[in-house]
Structure 1
């Protein structure tokens, strides 16, 4: 009893520790029950019961880490998911035994493979697909399987038809109110009113359809941006094919950085690790093996099937070979897509804010319309007249154009950025771009040109410089073939190297590999080394890739029979730790602590020159089991210093980020002195002392300590992929909106975690582009400034449109309410109110959403992501502006009454005054600064919208048919002067108060 009580007590403290680790992306989130001691029963209990929850499509829990990956309806709030998890955990630990039996009932698991490939012996699988470990499928078998299983492409969720997009515009609360008003008009004999009301609704739907269908086309065009290839063995030959041509039975080769295009059962592995976070929610790489799982359970979770690889994951290290067992919709990724079954893109937070604001205004206007109706009846107006007026006022007040504004702006924003070489892969990323507060910059390929070249080598205190392909020391040329130490160093650089040389005509070649390894290979070729002969002489048997455990690479080669050579390159200090011998004048002598200190000092001097320094070493041993060859007791060879030049314009771009209020942090695998020199050159600290944190210090920090330090550090050095993820999450824990740039495999976990993941489109890897939210097609960081500017501009423009729509609609309500309260009759009839809605709302509102960036858009601090589209203080401004418009129109109406009495002439003056004032008010909504105080860029769309709307308004006076419909009369010059004055006066007052803001 005491033990049970203790367990319950511990978990009682932990129940509130549900944490959302990844924000939702199209209905996907990863949450963690922190500190929870998971049992198998609890894992099954959570998976079973969460899957029964409404709006949850798929659940996977990991019994080791406590992570839960949940796919759910995108419209469901994340907090509701967290509450459901929390409640189930509490229920389980209150009565654990009562729920264990529930998890044992038969059920259809979304993670169960019908054929249970993970528990089958590989020979059985090969026989089932009629394939072979050595030769793979024959061409005939490939064609047969292609016919049987189809192409390896996930079935696209049905896109929205044009008709469904159009109909959806009739389903919102504002349109429902308008449709009800039209029905009421028919019942009260106002057929014309009903036709006009539904005409306004239909015009809005047509505009919405045109813009949203364009948005659908743009988003759908992004789906095929990443189309990875695959290396397979067919008929005994290694070939590269498009991933969609893979079939079950194919022998699939897996290499670092390769995207897994289908589900496969592993048959050979060499230290293979994969990132499976897309399926399991685990950020850390998962080690794989090729043996059948002995636990005979078909329902073993995906995260524990370590002899399988799945579509949508990617290789982070090592190599492997597997037989494809499922393609297309039969893959685990295909099952998830079928479960989610989205038929439309989820709305963005911004769209939801606008929808909420529109609904609130609908109910507010409905209340005001009811009040106007009651006052009108008390004043003695006819019932039918007041019904028509109230209906028309409701129509005029309803902001049915808000969704159209958001859809149009976001869609055109994506298109505009695409023209600027910025590819947006998620609508939500546009909003996040304007809120970025911290930008984590991967050094290689982002800040630098990613074209390394060796500049210096050093051993035994001797420095050799490399210029134009020649080695120099004290202005004397050095022949590597006459210097054993230099020749050994070059040989190690070639052997411990994954670069491939592709020869072309006229003895030209292209190096295919990382920039660092290409530079080492270039050094060897310039020295006259026959690279291919050397590699054939010492064939590679094993490879130990750089990982989170060790910051170096090692390769094992056969010399002859049972004598093996180990070549090592990597972080100088880590390589040096594994060395016990050095070479001096051709002799092997013990490596003393004094020698090691001298080497480390030389390393510091080279790194201080902004050189990336690698340590070189090797070992030679006679051994029977090659895999037992230790990476220790090595022979130290020397240091290699190389440089990657900083990209042109990067320093100015960093300054622009700082001006925009965005903190920049450099994350690099380089040593601290090298990183410090680069950070100093780029002025990352904005003139303040440059603060740098090494990975060795990072390992000793708690998450809270790292979070508090993250805002103060400018450079993180010697960083591993795991550290990158920790840094991004630490910044997020400080409440910052984080963007992360990267182009390699090791950047992908951090790219996923950041609010905005930014990948390079040209030099970046497929997997980096696959997880990124933004892709810079020209690999130019300067383009990112354009993206930030566009992100901020799009958000600002939507705010301007909403500001305009709310202030003008509110002014119409005020005019009718005040006139009725004051006993001034009906300044606007039902048809005039409907006309107002058509002329002043839609086109000027859309034109404001297409405003070019303001001159100071990159001089302001980023907005808070929690900031609503219309702040509380903004409403003060909107009410003031609405008041000036309504009072000015009522003043013009009072002039009309004084001259013509309560008549059509007076109503015409009020009608023209309010329309003209609202159209001019669009100019005031362009900026929070007074007109003329700054030079705003020209907006041809607004000019066209205002000119066209104003012309249409005056045409209505000259056209007999429209004049009769609107019940307006011709005007004389004095009337025109009053109308013009009443339209300009609110603009002058509103602009004047911008010098002395009403609210802050």
Structure 2
């Protein structure tokens, strides 16, 4: 943890400093401003000024905790960001009056609320909203409220209209220059030239509009991938509904992992904690209560309204009930979105790189155009002709479609992955998929089927197997009702259980709960236990769920008026530590250290068999307050051994990850022996010996040591949510691009921190899907290989398109520059340059972006995230290829001059040679390896693009109108042979000079 000192701008206060609480490699950090009078006004001032700073993407400050959450340009250092914060704090205190002038004029939506629900009594709120704590709203009242208030949804930002997309293509500098050339042509009588010039501009705009509007539709559909649901009480029944159907007055049921779909006032809270980081910037869970807040202040900050829950947050622990007070745009999240105004889809890192490459080429082509213009004038060409030629060359040389190619390719990639059951929720995730270097795999539900089944029960040295729905001791079927200890073990597993069971009239039943607890229920049913009768006999009063500090669950049940039973299940070691006695022959006897060791040995034996083992115990006490009972001096009962079978195909998937150069790590809450056995079965490590690290060894490890350990460890056992986050961050600090899979609430911190967070579509919680970048719709890890392959292919295809566009456009610059400087006339006129831009750039460039994955795409190591899309070696290759194309075209032009002199006929030979050569060059751009040695899958799009473009090019010779516009002449058989030779030769040279090792 780094401490960065902040110069104290206020002489009335003690020395202050900014403390970095948390930092990742993704351009995200959390700072704490200590020692300052951190008022709401300072909060507003910092949020407003930092948010408009060019290097800061978003900022959230918390006036209660003095924390600031920042997302900033990842190329900036955290120390530089802290300097920026320092400057604004200094200004605030040094020039207080001036600082107030720069506060946002609109009130911050998160500071106030139209109704102070947190200050009202529960009874008053329920009465005002005409609802009921027990029965909720009636169906009739819900329909009426939906008509009056509308659905519970935030206003969506209007996407760009088709007209605005189309018009934007006329706003670029090249098009403005080309329009100027058209205007000059009209003024000098060249109406036909002006029509052709503007026709090319319009066709470019139409093609750009078609591709970009389709891309925007796909990208805008990303937000529809996740549709959370909510549990509400209506007409006295707890039902699950779509969050858009929630209305004011609905009573929400809040459980761990529950996504909060609207603002609500709590009416019940039992150990309820929430993650409100999305709203307040505070990452630590906030404990909630239902009592009215007593305050003399007119405004209570959001962070202090602990009897309220807000849209966009989620439950991390406990349970409760809340009555909805605001929906849709009236929620605090809705108000913030309203203040944000319209925002455009941000450019991805790849798009920014392409824009930078295009800008560099603009400067290069501008310099060349200036040289061509000057040399042309010195050689005696007309001013107007050279103006049009220079401007046309600039437009033809600059591939202004680079960002469009990237956006279109990314959007089509999203569509293709959606067909493969991979839902992408963030555009940048596609780029990151191709760079994944390490993937952290959550065991349950990802590597395994998440369908637990009980296989073994152990108590007092005895073992029972569960096979075919029966309890077996060797070859003998056991009746649990003939053994008190065994029956007690089964009963406790039913009582300490959150699964809900519903029976049908045909005696079938449905279990609704986690796979572990459903398996325990199925075991009890198989043993003949009447679940409903048992629940009725021992009503539950208190539930203690698992927590980060306690890896067990306990429930308190009433036996008599003041006598209570405590049922406990969880990690065997933790349960055993809380036990002091055990039951033997219906008698309580002390649990000796020797017996505890025997139980521990039995637990490890079962774990080494790949079983997930639970310890079961109970207690009994008399008290008037069941909440005061402690989990100590319990009575040990026995062990339950369960198995979650490995998913079919997972072993092959792990092997595919290894072949792709991706390190695989398993993160699980299981004990070390269980985790080790599963990891061995999966062959999680192929090259090195399998190493495992237990969370007990992780607790006292420094970040530096953890970074080193992550290089060697393959399995992390008994891991908590905080540990998962630490592991992801340690891998990132090693410079790795990390993916994290998960499906539960305990996975969300790590899912948010990873470059690629991957959630399960069916078994995953709403919260996990909400924060993930990728959702596997079929819960099959095998589809992740498809996603990685597609991510790499998309990146490679964009590189191919960029390579093609840059090399062909640079060849045009070279041809014009060398011919003008050498005094050989102008091989290409303005119309021909425009035609080149239309015919050879757009369709082959897009077709290359649709290449199928190369056969070796999953056998190559992942690319470095810092690698530019155009490397220096690529520029060298582009220069060589452009030189070859231009030299070949100039050779054909030289042939034309030798045969026909400097004339339209010679220009036609050069024009046809360059166009044909550029189109054939698209074949060479399909792969950095020689095509003859590494055959590629057929690309029908490229075949159609090249065939259509070549056909259109040669048809132009046969149509008199086109011939006149392009100033070309008919060709004879000898000319055609020269053109064919000059087009094929660059392709052959390019293929011959490729390296087999690329």
**Secondary structure in 2 matching 1:372:** helix
Of 29, 32, 36, 2:30 maps to 32
**Secondary structure in 1 matching 2:558:** strand
Question: CA, structure 1 residues 239+646, in 2 after alignment: closer, same or farther (shift >3 Å)?
Answer: closer
- Alignment correspondent of 1:27: none
- Alignment correspondent of 2:757: 757
Of 41, 45, 48, 1:48 maps to 45
Say whether residues 1:89 and 2:91 are aligned partners.
no
After TM superposition, list the pairs within 5 Å mapping 1:790-939 onto structure 2: 790-939=790-939
**Secondary structure in 2 matching 1:953:** helix
- Alignment correspondent of 2:608: 608
**Secondary structure in 1 matching 2:256:** coil
**Secondary structure in 1 matching 2:601:** helix
- Residues of 2 paired with 1:973 and 1:100: CA distance? 84
Q: Deviations over 1:374-424 (max 9, x none)?
A: 111222223233222212211211212213211221111111111111111
Say if 1:50 and 1:85, in contact at 8 Å, map to a contact too. Answer: no
Which shifted more, 763-772 or 103-112? 103-112
Say if 2:542 and 2:555, in contact at 8 Å, map to a contact too. Answer: yes
Say whether residues 1:109 and 2:108 are aligned partners.
yes
Q: How many Å apart are 1:512 and its aligned residue?
A: 1.0
**Secondary structure in 2 matching 1:494:** helix
**Secondary structure in 2 matching 1:466:** strand
- Unmatched runs of 5 consecutive residues or more in structure 2: none
- Alignment correspondent of 2:226: 226
Q: How many Å apart are 1:942 and its aligned residue?
A: 0.4
After TM superposition, list the pairs within 5 Å mapping 1:64-213 onto structure 2: 67-69=67-69, 79=76, 86-90=83-87, 92=89, 108-112=107-111, 113-139=113-139, 141-213=141-213
Say if 1:8 and 1:94, in contact at 8 Å, map to a contact too. Answer: no
**Secondary structure in 2 matching 1:163:** helix
- Residues of 2 paired with 1:391 and 1:894: CA distance? 25
- Residues of 2 paired with 1:232 and 1:162: CA distance? 41
- Alignment correspondent of 2:643: 643
Say if 2:181 and 2:387, in contact at 8 Å, map to a contact too. Answer: no
Q: How many Å apart are 1:205 and its aligned residue?
A: 2.0
Q: Deviations over 1:268-314 (max 9, x none)?
A: 11111222232233444322111223344454443332211111222
**Secondary structure in 2 matching 1:621:** strand
- Residues of 2 paired with 1:262 and 1:158: CA distance? 22
Question: CA, structure 1 residues 91+910, in 2 after alignment: closer, same or farther (shift >3 Å)?
Answer: closer
**Secondary structure in 2 matching 1:223:** helix
- Residues of 2 paired with 1:737 and 1:124: CA distance? 52
Say if 1:197 and 1:395, in contact at 8 Å, map to a contact too. Answer: no
**Secondary structure in 1 matching 2:357:** helix
Q: How many Å apart are 1:770 and its aligned residue?
A: 1.7
Say if 1:51 and 1:58, in contact at 8 Å, map to a contact too. Answer: no
Q: How many Å apart are 1:186 and its aligned residue?
A: 3.9
Question: CA, structure 1 residues 184+697, in 2 after alignment: closer, same or farther (shift >3 Å)?
Answer: farther
**Secondary structure in 1 matching 2:568:** strand
Which shifted more, 472-481 or 294-303? 294-303
Could you state the TM-score of these two structures normalised by the residue count of structure 2?
A: 0.94
Question: CA, structure 1 residues 775+240, in 2 after alignment: closer, same or farther (shift >3 Å)?
Answer: closer
- Residues of 2 paired with 1:19 and 1:579: CA distance? 39
Question: CA, structure 1 residues 503+871, in 2 after alignment: closer, same or farther (shift >3 Å)?
Answer: same
Question: CA, structure 1 residues 188+864, in 2 after alignment: closer, same or farther (shift >3 Å)?
Answer: farther
- Residues of 1 paired with 2:155 and 2:907: CA distance? 60
After TM superposition, list the pairs within 5 Å mapping 1:954-965 onto structure 2: 954-965=954-965
After TM superposition, list the pairs within 5 Å mapping 1:404-483 onto structure 2: 404-483=404-483
Q: How many Å apart are 1:361 and its aligned residue?
A: 1.3
- Residues of 2 paired with 1:629 and 1:100: CA distance? 58
- Alignment correspondent of 2:542: 542
Question: CA, structure 1 residues 916+419, in 2 after alignment: closer, same or farther (shift >3 Å)?
Answer: same
- Residues of 2 paired with 1:11 and 1:734: CA distance? 37
- Residues of 1 paired with 2:92 and 2:945: CA distance? 66
Say if 2:47 and 2:60, in contact at 8 Å, map to a contact too. Answer: no
- Residues of 2 paired with 1:968 and 1:12: CA distance? 79
Q: Deviations over 1:925-965 (max 9, x none)?
A: 00000111112010000011111111111111111111111
**Secondary structure in 2 matching 1:890:** helix
Which shifted more, 331-340 or 669-678? 331-340
- Residues of 1 paired with 2:879 and 2:533: CA distance? 82
After TM superposition, list the pairs within 5 Å mapping 1:235-634 onto structure 2: 235-297=235-297, 299-634=299-634
Say if 1:175 and 1:400, in contact at 8 Å, map to a contact too. Answer: no
Q: Deviations over 1:237-272 (max 9, x none)?
A: 434333222222222211222221110011111111
Say if 2:8 and 2:15, in contact at 8 Å, map to a contact too. Answer: no
- Residues of 2 paired with 1:51 and 1:134: CA distance? 44
- Residues of 2 paired with 1:772 and 1:696: CA distance? 28
- Residues of 1 paired with 2:308 and 2:799: CA distance? 49
Name the count of aligned residue pairs.
Answer: 987
Question: CA, structure 1 residues 740+80, in 2 after alignment: closer, same or farther (shift >3 Å)?
Answer: closer
Q: How many Å apart are 1:87 and its aligned residue?
A: 2.6
**Secondary structure in 1 matching 2:664:** strand
Say if 1:46 and 1:88, in contact at 8 Å, map to a contact too. Answer: no
Q: How many Å apart are 1:120 and its aligned residue?
A: 2.9
Question: CA, structure 1 residues 222+577, in 2 after alignment: closer, same or farther (shift >3 Å)?
Answer: same
Say whether residues 1:674 and 2:652 are aligned partners.
no
Q: How many Å apart are 1:686 and its aligned residue?
A: 1.6
Q: Deviations over 1:790-820 (max 9, x none)?
A: 0010011011001000000000000011111
- Residues of 1 paired with 2:180 and 2:750: CA distance? 51
Question: CA, structure 1 residues 238+645, in 2 after alignment: closer, same or farther (shift >3 Å)?
Answer: closer
Q: How many Å apart are 1:6 and its aligned residue?
A: 10
Question: CA, structure 1 residues 46+392, in 2 after alignment: closer, same or farther (shift >3 Å)?
Answer: same
Question: CA, structure 1 residues 132+938, in 2 after alignment: closer, same or farther (shift >3 Å)?
Answer: same
Which shifted more, 286-295 or 546-555? 286-295
Which shifted more, 444-453 or 743-752? 743-752
- Residues of 2 paired with 1:640 and 1:785: CA distance? 35
Say if 1:50 and 1:84, in contact at 8 Å, map to a contact too. Answer: no
Say if 1:799 and 1:869, in contact at 8 Å, map to a contact too. Answer: yes
Which shifted more, 92-101 or 440-449? 92-101
- Residues of 2 paired with 1:662 and 1:788: CA distance? 10
Q: How many Å apart are 1:921 and its aligned residue?
A: 0.4
- Residues of 2 paired with 1:702 and 1:90: CA distance? 32
Say if 1:274 and 1:287, in contact at 8 Å, map to a contact too. Answer: yes
Which shifted more, 788-797 or 684-693? 684-693
Which shifted more, 52-61 or 322-331? 52-61
Question: CA, structure 1 residues 601+143, in 2 after alignment: closer, same or farther (shift >3 Å)?
Answer: same
**Secondary structure in 2 matching 1:560:** coil
Question: CA, structure 1 residues 710+955, in 2 after alignment: closer, same or farther (shift >3 Å)?
Answer: same
Q: How many Å apart are 1:342 and its aligned residue?
A: 3.3
Which shifted more, 125-134 or 424-433? 125-134
Which shifted more, 533-542 or 48-57? 48-57
Say if 2:435 and 2:863, in contact at 8 Å, map to a contact too. Answer: yes
- Residues of 1 paired with 2:818 and 2:484: CA distance? 98
- Residues of 1 paired with 2:720 and 2:829: CA distance? 70
Q: How many Å apart are 1:906 and its aligned residue?
A: 1.1
Say if 1:233 and 1:239, in contact at 8 Å, map to a contact too. Answer: yes
**Secondary structure in 2 matching 1:347:** coil
Q: How many Å apart are 1:211 and its aligned residue?
A: 2.0
Say if 1:116 and 1:298, in contact at 8 Å, map to a contact too. Answer: no
Question: CA, structure 1 residues 418+574, in 2 after alignment: closer, same or farther (shift >3 Å)?
Answer: same
Say if 1:410 and 1:794, in contact at 8 Å, map to a contact too. Answer: yes
After TM superposition, list the pairs within 5 Å mapping 1:706-745 onto structure 2: 706-745=706-745
Say whether residues 1:683 and 2:683 are aligned partners.
yes
Say if 2:18 and 2:82, in contact at 8 Å, map to a contact too. Answer: no
